[in-house]
Structure 1
Amino acid sequence: MRKKNLKEFSPLKFFKIKALAFLFILSISLPVTASSFSALTGKIKLAREIVVTGTVTNETGATFPGVAVKIKGTEKAVQTDAKGKFSISVAATTDVLVFSYVGYTIQEQTVGDRTTINVQLSADTKTLNELVVVGYGTQKKATLTGSISQVKGADLVKSPQPNLSNSLAGRFSGVVINNRSGEPGYDGSNITIRGLATTGSNNVLIVVDGIPGQIGGLERLDPNDIESISVLKDASAAIYGNRAANGVILVTTKKGKTGKPTINYSFNQGFSSPTRLPKMADAATYAQIMNEISFDSNPAGGLNQSYTADQIEKFRNGSDPLLYPNTDWTDQTLEKTALQSQHSLSINGGGQDVKYYMSLGTVSQDGLYKNGATKYNQYNFRTNVDANVSKYLKVGLSVSGRQENRLFPQVAAGDIFRSIYRAKPIVSAYYPNGLPTTGIENANPAVQVTDIGGTSKSPTQVLNGILRATFIIPGVEGLSVDGFFSADKSNVFTKSFNKPYLLYQYDPTSKTYNSVITGGNNQKATLIEKHQNESLLTSNIKLNYARRFNLHDINAFVGYEQSENHLEYFDAQRFNFLSTNLPELSQGGAAATDYLNSGYSSNYNRKSVISRLAYSYDDKYLFEGQLRIDGSSIFPEGKRFGYFPSASAGWVMSKEKWFSDNVKFVDNLKIRASYGALGNDNVKGFQYFDNYVLVGNGFVAQSPGAASSSIQPGVNLVKLANPNITWEVAKKLDIGINATLFKNFSIEAIYFQQKRSDILTTRNASLPGSSGIVNPFDDKSVNYTPLVPSENIGKVNSNGFEATLGYNHNGENFKWNASGNFTYAKSKVIFIDEASGTPDYQRKTGRPLNVDLLYNAIGIFRTQQELDAYPHVSGAKVGDLKYLDYNNDGKITADDQTRTPYSNIPQITYGFTLGASYKNFDLSMVLAGQTQVSQYVLPESGSIGNFYSSWADNRFSAANPNGTYPRVTDRASNAISGGQFNNTFWLNDASFLRLKNVELAYNIKASFLERINVSGLRIYASAFNLFTISKVKDYDPEGTSGSGQFYPQQRIINLGANIKF
């Protein structure tokens, strides 16, 4: 039907037509006779008496209980009973009965003159044959034998997070997502699958459109381009062999679909703010605390040694902002909100021979800093084209790329927030005349966030291309050859210009502002430029066979894959710039000491044979075997190849006749198990060679006839070789069940076990110094690495279980679904090198990975009698923390430290998702939580920094003997409440429940959109990290351990629209 142009529409003309039609109908209705009316009422009476009964069966002829039988267009409905029978009254012979059951094709039957209607429902093949992306292909969800979770891209776009990794939290069982920072451009999440499993790398392998380790990764992909994301958690990942030990995430982007071109445009505007920031002590409180510290050190000096009562009052009332300011450094440095926006435009369509999907997208994120230099911009594109060249040949081309522009102030985010929390409230950010102060140790965070001290910009380009081909071999049904060649390229350029600038100190005696030069190097500008180029070439060819013989289904392939990764890096530094107006390397100082440069390159190759055989009988008995043979240049000759087999089996018990006839409430039940070996080659390369570095002061030499000796360049041995290094191996066992109950409930439960062995680590702890290879040159530098070579000696076991429950309800107007997932994963160190003589309770062996060694704080010494009666460290005073004398030797020493039960990676994670729609409205929610997780945060407080209000307001003191925090101290290296005595008082329970994502949307009615030639319009409001329930109050519980000095996680409120043409 031709759509009318909006300009042709006339409300007056429309009204006239409707009025004439009404009069015509009215005129022919007036002569209705009494007999006609009587006949009509008789018909109505007859309709009320129609009772329709019947029986519903399935394809096998078995009766079908629980089928919904509904009169179309009404809310009237019944369900079939235990024998599949139903009875329903209808109003007219023209009524239509709708028969529906989840997983089966809906049937409609017009009543007509029938009073008995029997119906046979057939399984909805689209539902049963729903495909899940697996390694090197797809499989029917119904016949999967591995632990694979999947989320659709349509769900991910409902999150306002520009970083895709952050949108995954709470959606899967077994997947641990922790967002440690909210800094634009560096706000990605740490992803682990089933928790920590090794002392080595726990990084997950990312596979995008079939390319393992594609350059660019997951985080910066446009969510609008995503078709689905699958997670391989068990031995099913063995098909990726040497990089699959930590699990695999498979990303599939959208492809073209047959049909007329469809154009989609989406836009959203977001407003981000910190989820949580610590409240700091004000100036008056800080001054009082400093008086307490002074009195504690020198009681004879009195109570107001640092500040008089009058001075404290001036801090409080703000009467003299020049000399007695009250500075809120957070407010002076950070905005309340920052802006972000996303745009996406795509076109999708094609015919029988050519299909295409093309998209453009942009992302813009501002930082929280006032007048700040932080900014992240992204521009991305994607093109996926598939063509049928002939009956037997199909080809595809995918090209994608993006430009990432990062801009930051010269000072890193962690240092800025360190300055914010340390800066004293008794110091202004700016004097009343606008001059910046020296802040804390010549670090004024309100100035650091600007570009006054220079900026660091880092543009990045990523380009990915994939050429695919599939050839169906004629004459042999089910036989085909396919392959791909991909080329990835990235270029990262960083330019960091560090300029000197002026801060000021006010001298109250002379009433002058004295300048202080900070920034730069020796009061001169410096420039660092870094270049990193990386390329990845991957090729793959497979011979495939897929055939069904009656009830036998075979799917198999064997193939070859190879990849070459090349990286080049160099940096150049220049010092002593005479002017800050020309930040170019050519403009720096000319002396030999004004130059500095370095660089390196690497080349890694992998070659693999891949194979899989999947067999099923009647989709009831399932078996799958996989084998990957991997070769990696990371290891020495003779050790380069590893074999990674896996096997899995499943039994769809519900397809057994004896089961389906007797267990009516179970619609589907599958029992499955898998076992396999997987590898991890994510280690430093060339460890089978002795490692040397060039140094400028290698040795002292004196040439013949020379008057004196001189220092000459040379080489230093930094790591001894191990010619026997090999793969880290993970052996994984999974046992699981999948079930559907009462047609709408779904259940998945899995027990998993993993044993890691041959983990590369060193014997630094147990080897004595007399061996000569631990630290032969007595190097005291922080970054010194012992010469001890790495060995495949580490062992870690882990186990746990995960479960997912789901419910789905499909009403005519109201539809909703909900699911919950739960994961428990615990690791145990079986062997790691430890110093001899270490007490058992302090050893890492036998405990979870990454647990801390701390003194156990059991309270506060509140009286001198209590202090005298219990062991304590030298110098302890009333108000200090009380440490447990764990070994009962009557003194507090390092031997009293014990291992904490949990690390900063949770042992328990859980999530809830909810989706609902009513007519044109839809709602989605994702909640994520974690528990059995710890975070250690010790603030830098005292004379070296301000106090959190939680400590300042609840500190132990003579005026507050019931304070819940210890007395305040300078936190010197020998401080009792902090410093070297790291203890459990500062170890927080980082459990939380967080509303990760919520979206409420309205879909504009199609009848309205037709008038403006629009096929769809959706407007929505969404939020990310909207609220968090946690015992941690001063900072975000997902943040890093340490001193709480990290760019805070973000809460995002978002408004957007999606329009389709």
Structure 2
Amino acid sequence: MKSILNFNVRNLCFVFVMLVVQCAFAQDRTITGTVTDNKQEPLIGVNVVVKGNTSVGAITDLNGKYSLSVPEGKATLVFSYIGYVTQEVSVGSRNTVDVVLVDDAQALDEVVVVGYGVVKKRDLVGSIASVKSQDITAVPTSNVLESMQGKIAGLDMTRSSGQPGSAFNFTIRGNRSLTASNAPLILVDGIAYGTDIDINPNDVESIEVLKDASTTAIYGSRGANGVILVTTKKGKEGKAKVDFNAYWGPSFSTNLPKVNNTEQYVAMRREAMRAVGQWNSPADDGVIWDAVALERIKNNVNTDWYDLIMDDATTQNYQVSISGGTDATKVSFSLDYFDETGILIGDDFDRFNGRINVSQRIMKGMEAGASALFTTSTRNAAPNNVFHAAQTKEPYGVPFNEDGSLNKYPFTGSGATDINMLFNQDKNNYVDETKSNRFFGTLFLNWEIIKGLQFRTNFGYDLQNSRNGHFEGVNSTFVESNKGLAKVSKNETHSTAWTWENTLTYTKDFDIHSLTAMVGHSMSKSSSEDTYAEGKGLSFEQSLFHNLDGTQQDYALSSTLTESSMLSYFARLNYKLLDKYLLTATLRADGSSVLAKGNRWGYFPSVAVAWRMKDEHFLSSVDEISDLKLRLSYGLSGNSAVSPYQTTGGLSKTIYEFGTVPAYGYRPYSMANLELQWEKTRVLNFGVDFGLFNNRVYATIDAYKTWTSDLLLPMILPGHTGFTEVISNVGKTETRGIDLSINTVNFDTKDFKWTTDLTFSANKEEITALNTNQNDVGSGWFIGSPTKVFYDYEKIGIWQTSEAAEAAKYGQEPGDIKVRDQTNDGAIDANNDRKVLGQQTPKWTAGLNNRFEYKGWELSFFLYARVGHLIQNEAAANFNPSGWNNSIACDYWTPENPTNAYPRPNFNKNESMLYKSTLAYCKGNFLKIKDITFGYSFPKQMISKLNMSKLRIYTTLKNFFTFSAVDDYDPERGGSNSYPMTKQVVFGINVSF
């Protein structure tokens, strides 16, 4: 290695010396000229550089003129300008070189993937947002969908936790359903993939998000929540290209609840006892603590349990890909390894991906291809209950014995028999392991039957197997709930799905008309088989969950088989008049096995029109406006919310007595409803696309409204039916909002470029109808309110000493939580004094990305905001006023500290404390600097000596800076006591050969 490095250094030094010598002896001459557009208007700020030597260059002035010195001999000038085609001009013997740049229509001719086809961006009629490969991989991510957070207007996305391999929660334009999923349909290369996207981001060519009915209706009963199309990379004609990408970095927790240390905990417990008259001075401490605890307090034993359950974590990823081909055969192949250890000891996730894509021209007009993706992963999950334990256990617990071994019983008093939470992080005491394997493959054939008529068939197969093994030993904290026995379980899932789709597309241009018609047919079937077994009393614990027959009691077995299928027909018509008046109409018919006979088919139409105003004569001469298009669409799509067998009455096993002998039988547990249908959503969308100054500013604005009907909700039944309720199509919701995206090129000179991307989304949800038009308080559904809300008493402070008489009217005393008497009737009751406090989803979200490039250097930073929603702070809700358990360090009320934040600790009040749940609610607003990336790309002249076409190194700070009123948790995740969010420092390299 040392000799190789020495050799490379000598080569680089030699190249450097030769360049210096060349510069010293070369003779320069001055070249001048003028750069104009096709209307002979001068172009200001055009970059003019010498090809192969970008250090020699100039920029045109206000009159479009430039001047630069070039070496004698052969020289070629490169002229580049935003919105125009880059031109290369040989200087020859000339001293004056004038150039006319031609408009670059490439941006508008860019191809965008839509359902069952592609369309030029200029011809888009519906609302579609796109993220390309270079943006997907700009920041290292473990989940390809993460690259879209804050960069697609209308897409609200948050990570569920910081646990390795954790998924993302995401919706497109809000929630419409109350009981069914609001997650969008995700397809990879045209085939449904599910929401757990385990594809390496470097394997993805583009992601398109379909948002309005004109784009989603083609997916019928699955399109109401929006559609995400993921297109993987294909081989391209040309020499083989090898890419290597790698990154590594440490991870740290973001915000953690600040719990009481020993001094604070002692003060809180004393106050709790003082409130009931059992403590007046430290002389009374013996009433609270035993001798062991008092000794530890005296010696200032102070244990940070959070620090003990957590450890340093790392993330690493290595990917290599090879692609290339001839005009007939094209191949793309990649391997990827991802590994992430969690900040919680014992938690880790690793994944291996292998992908291959091959296409072959069989004959003129006919091409076939195949792709295969194999994924295998292993997830080891540590028990999340240790976070709750770290927050609530006494801070003077002694976790280790004098010899350094774990102290099994570190606590005192009533908790003296509680097992040390650190025992759960020993693999001999607790295991939660999930292994998953997946094969996802596609086959396709494209055949141009005659000019303009193309047939395509696409077949996809998805095979998934997973196994979860769970073990809780007798030395884990679960032993008490397991009756003093070890508990093991195993859950195995096997699922398959296949889809076969055929389309026939006809394209024809004639005179001032352009027509594209497509008809298609789709068949799909899915099957999932699940087996579960558990038992207690494992005789040989070293076997963990691999020896279920070694258990001795409390056996449990279950297995299920779920199957469904769908048959569909669809059609789409695209029509253009004069290349500026656009029309798209779609229709899909879905027939599903999950619905009852006679009610299995649903029909989903849409229509959209667009007007390219820029091409009208009254705007064509306005140079400042480079693009302007108006769009309008209306259509219907569905949410396949009906589960298999939900329309039929279900049976459950039961035991009854036959004489004196128990007998097994079955009884109905749900009532059949043969009239169940899919939930349906109508969408009206109006949009404007416009570009200014040769598209240096480009924006898209969409305003929309949706009406969702036939929501699946429980309908109460009279008792004589033998059932309590039946699922029916009875609810309705509405949403409305605005999506905005703006892309600007702020500066673009020879050496410096600055671009900005802004997205903004505002969405309002409303329930407009429920069963019998009554609010469903138990489910948290209220007519006129958003779909997800918090409903509770309204905390307005803490009762103060001066308010003792008024507090007594409500059965309270100073130091108790004070809530608003909504009816002002002198009494607080659950029916009249609770209210909708706020919504759980944000009123608006925004993302702002800035990217700066200077020569080979780059700096980018991305800001993300969610505003207008409430979250629950579980640590606050778990405030323990009795003092038995530890709590967060907070500003609680005492006669000497008349705060309005937290109530007075009171030994006689814990769960019985009135309105304690109101402590949990807080505003979830936040602004994050989501990532900051600093990188450098080495000059091609330098790396070409090493047969490289690209060499880039970078470092990224992820999730490091959050501005929010919430300081106990990362507000993006919310305030639960589950896995905290993480921040990362990433170091990476990208190499291409």
- For the 8 Å contact 1:804–1:819, the answer to whether it is kept is yes
The equivalent residue for 1:677 is 636
Deviation of the 1:68 alpha carbon: 3.9
The equivalent residue for 2:358 is 385
DSSP-derived class of the 1:522 partner: coil
- For the 8 Å contact 1:969–1:977, the answer to whether it is kept is no
AA matched with 1:572: A
Q: 1:248 aligns with which of 227, 235, 242?
A: 227
Q: 1:1026 aligns with which of 960, 966, 978?
A: 960
DSSP-derived class of the 1:341 partner: strand
- For the 8 Å contact 1:283–1:326, the answer to whether it is kept is yes
AA matched with 1:1050: T
The equivalent residue for 2:991 is 1059
The equivalent residue for 1:719 is 670
- 1:469-868 matches, cutoff 5 A: 469-473=445-449, 476-501=450-475, 518=479, 521-583=482-544, 588=549, 593-661=553-621, 663-695=622-654, 697=655, 699-702=656-659, 709-743=660-694, 744-764=696-716, 771-772=719-720, 787-808=724-745, 809-833=747-771, 844-863=782-801, 865-868=802-805
In 2 relative to 1, CA 327–585 (structure 1 residues): closer, same or farther, beyond 3 Å? closer
Q: 2:878 aligns with which of 932, 940, 950?
A: 940
- For the 8 Å contact 2:208–2:228, the answer to whether it is kept is yes
- 1:53-68 matches, cutoff 5 A: 56-57=37-38, 62=39, 64=41, 68=45
The equivalent residue for 1:204 is 183
Q: 2:951 aligns with which of 1017, 1042, 1052?
A: 1017
What per-residue deviation string (whole Å, max 9, x for no partner) do you get for residues 696-718 of structure 1? x2x1111xxxxxx1322222322
The equivalent residue for 1:417 is 387
Question: In terms of mean alpha carbon deviation, does 195-204 or 306-315 score higher?
Answer: 306-315
DSSP-derived class of the 1:719 partner: coil
The equivalent residue for 2:866 is 930
Establish whether residue 436 from structure 1 lines up as the match of residue 387 from structure 2. Answer: no
AA matched with 1:605: S
Mark the runs of 5 or more structure 1 residues left unpaired by the alignment.
30-39, 504-516, 703-708, 777-785
User: Matched residues in 1 for 2:974 and 2:60: separation?
Assistant: 55
- For the 8 Å contact 1:520–1:526, the answer to whether it is kept is no
Mark the runs of 5 or more structure 2 residues left unpaired by the alignment.
51-55
Establish whether residue 956 from structure 1 lines up as the match of residue 896 from structure 2. Answer: no
Q: 2:285 aligns with which of 307, 317, 321?
A: 307
* RMSD between superposed Cα atoms in Å: 3.5
What per-residue deviation string (whole Å, max 9, x for no partner) do you get for residues 713-751 of structure 1? 222322111110011100001101011112211111110
User: Matched residues in 2 for 1:176 and 1:567: separation?
Assistant: 30
- For the 8 Å contact 1:69–1:97, the answer to whether it is kept is no
The equivalent residue for 1:263 is 242
Establish whether residue 1045 from structure 1 lines up as the match of residue 977 from structure 2. Answer: yes
- For the 8 Å contact 2:176–2:182, the answer to whether it is kept is no
Deviation of the 1:76 alpha carbon: 4.2
Deviation of the 1:890 alpha carbon: 1.1
- For the 8 Å contact 2:614–2:627, the answer to whether it is kept is yes
Deviation of the 1:389 alpha carbon: 1.1
User: Matched residues in 1 for 2:22 and 2:550: separation?
Assistant: 92
The equivalent residue for 1:997 is 931
- For the 8 Å contact 1:419–1:443, the answer to whether it is kept is no
Deviation of the 1:991 alpha carbon: 0.6
Q: Looking at CA atoms only, which structure, 1 or 2, has the larger radius of gyration?
A: 1
DSSP-derived class of the 1:895 partner: coil
DSSP-derived class of the 1:869 partner: helix
AA matched with 2:530: Y
What per-residue deviation string (whole Å, max 9, x for no partner) do you get for residues 373-423 of structure 1? 2221111110011111111210011011110111224x3x2x221222121
Deviation of the 1:161 alpha carbon: 2.9
What per-residue deviation string (whole Å, max 9, x for no partner) do you get for residues 73-120 of structure 1? 56643466xxxx745567799998866543321345678999998765
User: Matched residues in 2 for 1:251 and 1:6: separation?
Assistant: 45
Give the TM-score of the pair, scaled to structure 2: 0.91
- For the 8 Å contact 2:775–2:783, the answer to whether it is kept is no
The equivalent residue for 2:259 is 280
DSSP-derived class of the 1:447 partner: helix
- For the 8 Å contact 1:376–1:406, the answer to whether it is kept is yes
In 2 relative to 1, CA 965–256 (structure 1 residues): closer, same or farther, beyond 3 Å? same
User: Matched residues in 1 for 2:20 and 2:866: separation?
Assistant: 67
In 2 relative to 1, CA 22–1049 (structure 1 residues): closer, same or farther, beyond 3 Å? closer
AA matched with 1:222: N
User: Matched residues in 2 for 1:585 and 1:13: separation?
Assistant: 61
- For the 8 Å contact 1:848–1:901, the answer to whether it is kept is no
DSSP-derived class of the 1:790 partner: strand
Establish whether residue 449 from structure 1 lines up as the match of residue 425 from structure 2. Answer: yes
User: Matched residues in 1 for 2:847 and 2:561: separation?
Assistant: 43
User: Matched residues in 2 for 1:816 and 1:416: separation?
Assistant: 47
In 2 relative to 1, CA 1012–54 (structure 1 residues): closer, same or farther, beyond 3 Å? closer
User: Matched residues in 2 for 1:373 and 1:541: separation?
Assistant: 48
Establish whether residue 221 from structure 1 lines up as the match of residue 181 from structure 2. Answer: no
Deviation of the 1:450 alpha carbon: 2.5
DSSP-derived class of the 1:1045 partner: coil
The equivalent residue for 2:53 is none
User: Matched residues in 1 for 2:815 and 2:928: separation?
Assistant: 36
Q: 1:77 aligns with which of 48, 51, 59?
A: 59
- For the 8 Å contact 2:731–2:769, the answer to whether it is kept is yes
- For the 8 Å contact 1:244–1:679, the answer to whether it is kept is yes
Deviation of the 1:630 alpha carbon: 0.7
In 2 relative to 1, CA 121–315 (structure 1 residues): closer, same or farther, beyond 3 Å? farther
The equivalent residue for 1:145 is 125
In 2 relative to 1, CA 681–18 (structure 1 residues): closer, same or farther, beyond 3 Å? closer
Q: Percent same amino acid at aligned positions? A: 27
In 2 relative to 1, CA 621–305 (structure 1 residues): closer, same or farther, beyond 3 Å? farther
- For the 8 Å contact 1:477–1:547, the answer to whether it is kept is no
AA matched with 1:155: D
AA matched with 1:974: S
User: Matched residues in 2 for 1:445 and 1:583: separation?
Assistant: 19
What per-residue deviation string (whole Å, max 9, x for no partner) do you get for residues 583-629 of structure 1? 466564586x5532111101110111121111223431111111111
Deviation of the 1:459 alpha carbon: 0.6
In 2 relative to 1, CA 653–968 (structure 1 residues): closer, same or farther, beyond 3 Å? same
- For the 8 Å contact 1:526–1:573, the answer to whether it is kept is yes
Deviation of the 1:154 alpha carbon: 2.1
- For the 8 Å contact 2:376–2:438, the answer to whether it is kept is yes
The equivalent residue for 1:782 is none
Q: 2:212 aligns with which of 217, 230, 234?
A: 234
DSSP-derived class of the 2:470 partner: strand
In 2 relative to 1, CA 923–574 (structure 1 residues): closer, same or farther, beyond 3 Å? same
AA matched with 2:152: F
In 2 relative to 1, CA 331–66 (structure 1 residues): closer, same or farther, beyond 3 Å? same
